[in-house]
Chains A and B, each alone.
Chain A
Amino acid sequence: MIHLLRYLIRKVVFALAALVFFVSVIFALPRLIPGNPVGVLVSKLALQGQTDPARIQAVYRDFMDEFGIGLPLWEQFTGFVTQLLRGDLGTSISMYPRKVTEILAIYLPWTVALLLPAILVSWVLGNYLGALVAWRRGTLLDKLVTPILLTVSRIPFYWFAMLMLFAFAVYLRLFPIGGTYSWGLTPSLTWDFVGNYLRHYTLPFLTWVVICLGGWAVGMRSMMIYELGSDYVLSADTLGLPQRKLLRYAFRSACLPQVTELGLNFGFMLSGSLLLELVFNYRGMGSITFQALSALDYPLIQGIFIVLAAAVILANLAVDFIYGFIDPRIRTGHLRR
């Protein structure tokens, strides 16, 4: 138990260190630019057609205050951190005077609703599929399915999403051509809305599952082949254990590295889902990122950065925790990871 505890504490410390690192980066970058960052940001407001000088003045003063320009750097930093700890991500420039947290609270749930189920379904399905083709390796099934999985996992996924949208929504008209729900509906827990949402949801969801599936299955296949050839499986086989049991033993060991991969790939999958949302015109972090970038809305981008970084850190921490409980070697201190 002491080993497990030590392992968990180490992981938490690492996560906190990573968080501190990213907060420092997001604090330092705008201030490294020569000149006054607020001046640069607010001048972009003027470029977007905001010409009322009184209003620009007001915005300018607000942001000078928020950034703490003029104070010593150390006080700027403590101010920045206390603001963050209070859950305040500042005020948006392009949607002034709305708060960044307010905007993100609208978009984040839609991304979570798409991303999490897709990741879990593709991971579970991919692992089972990979184990199946490894078990039946050399047969027609393996020779047919494995190359397909390999090919799909290597097509640029954002382009694959475009092809899916083109084929199934534009050409075959089986699904709506993008969006989150139809015009005129307001999100609510009625059959009407949920049904409409699910019709929009299906194609991006399936696309994302198919894209991720191949990678998991290919990884699982080689892991399973390795485990099935290892000594403990061979000796269990000579002892006459039923094949199902061998498969289960090998599967459990082969799952461990897949759990680690899940954590490592989370950041990649998160940024991938932003692109996917963009292609499917799905309302979420992807569309707000695109909007924030085209308006060069720094506070909003900073908020997106912090939310994404925190999500990656939390996902990795969660995976590390799960790993601590499912890998007996950590509990007994036989594996230093």
Chain B
Amino acid sequence: MGNARLVVSAALFLAVVLFGLAGRWAYPVDPVSRVGGKLQTPSWEHPLGTDVQGRDVLAQLIHGTGTSLSIGITASVIAVAIAIVVGVISGYRGGLMDDSLMASANVVLAFPVILLLLVVAVFVPVRSPMVVALLIGFTSWPGLARAIRSQIMSLKEREFVFLSRMTGCGGVRIAFVDLLPNMMTYVFTSSVVIMSAAMLAEAGLSMIGVGVTKGTSLGTMLFWAQLSDAVRRGLFWWFIPPGGVLTVACASLLLLATALDQFFNPRLKER
């Protein structure tokens, strides 16, 4: 049962990745230049129609999926790296270091990334997907950091750590070589969840105008659709696909995370 879930979610996610990567070769249409009339309904020539500037929606969707995936991966890698460093130091050192790191984690946890991007948006009017990925990554670490911290705190009292200490190992070695590998499966599962959250955040931020402005992402598609009143004008072929791809990508990632959890942690299988 657990394996079936793993296969299904992984297959769904790979399909989205394939769509974003291989789609460009299978459907080599430029997403940013005008290829037909404005607001054409879906046809053989343009399977998902065209937008208000006569750009091909399917081509935008393919490139946008690729961009959104790379934003998700980049933000997730950054967030996980920060979470590991903060969580390990905080849990292993304790004391004042722990207090101040956790206080900053709490502040970042409660504050929406939109606040940061609001200010950045004024002074960096042209934002590439990587800038947005960086900013999302820098605000997505607190949850995982707190989880790593509490695990380190319970693990560091175990015998094998005392043994390492007795043989003269330093704190850094103990923390990263003895303790951290114990939670790598958990960290990996969390990184999948963070990736889906980052993709969702990108689209929302870009839609309100503080996210990506250079290139095509699923968020910028929604931005233009929203700006052109696509919903009220009934242009369903324009605003439904980006949200649909985003839903499939994020749902498959979250399903993958629970499946991975069960795979790594057979005791959970009863549920």
Contact = CB atoms under 8 A, between A and B. Distances in A.
Interface residues of B, number: 40
B13 interface: no
Nearest to A297: B122
Contacts of A279: 226, 231
B116 to A, nearest CB: 8
B121 interface: yes
B123 A18 contact: no
Interface string A38-55: 001100000000000000
A312 to B, nearest CB: 6
A312 B112 contact: yes
A158 B239 CA distance: 11
Contact of B107 (A21, A41, A154, A156): A21
B140 to A, nearest CB: 12
B204 A312 contact: no
Interface residues of A, number: 56
B246 interface: yes
Nearest to B246: A156
Contact of A156 (B113, B121, B208, B250): B250
A293 interface: yes
Interface in B110-155: 110-115, 118-123, 125
B103 A308 contact: no
Interface in B193-250: 200, 203-204, 207-210, 222, 225-226, 231-232, 234, 236, 239-240, 242-243, 246-247, 250
B10 interface: no
A275 B113 CA distance: 14
B119 A156 contact: no
Given A170-B234, A305-B115, A309-B115, A290 B110 contact: no
A96 interface: no
A33 B236 CA distance: 42
B204 A158 contact: yes
B254 interface: yes
A290 B250 contact: no
Nearest to A32: B123
B110 A266 contact: yes
B112 A267 contact: yes
Interface stretch (A66-74, A75-83, A159-167): A159-167
B81 interface: no
Nearest to A266: B110
Interface string B162-203: 000000000000000000000000000000000000001001
A118 interface: no
A17 B251 CA distance: 38
Nearest to A269: B112
Nearest to B143: A264
A274 B109 CA distance: 19
Given A155-B247, A264-B109, A274 B114 contact: yes
Given A25-B119, A278-B207, 16 more contacts: A33-B123, A159-B203, A159-B222, A159-B247, A162-B225, A166-B236, A170-B234, A264-B110, A267-B112, A271-B112, A275-B208, A278-B208, A290-B209, A308-B112, A308-B115, A312-B112
> Closest 5 interchain pairs by CB?
A159-B243, A271-B112, A267-B112, A271-B114, A293-B209
11 contacts: A14-B103, A154-B254, A171-B234, A267-B111, A274-B114, A279-B226, A289-B208, A293-B122, A293-B208, A302-B119, A308-B112
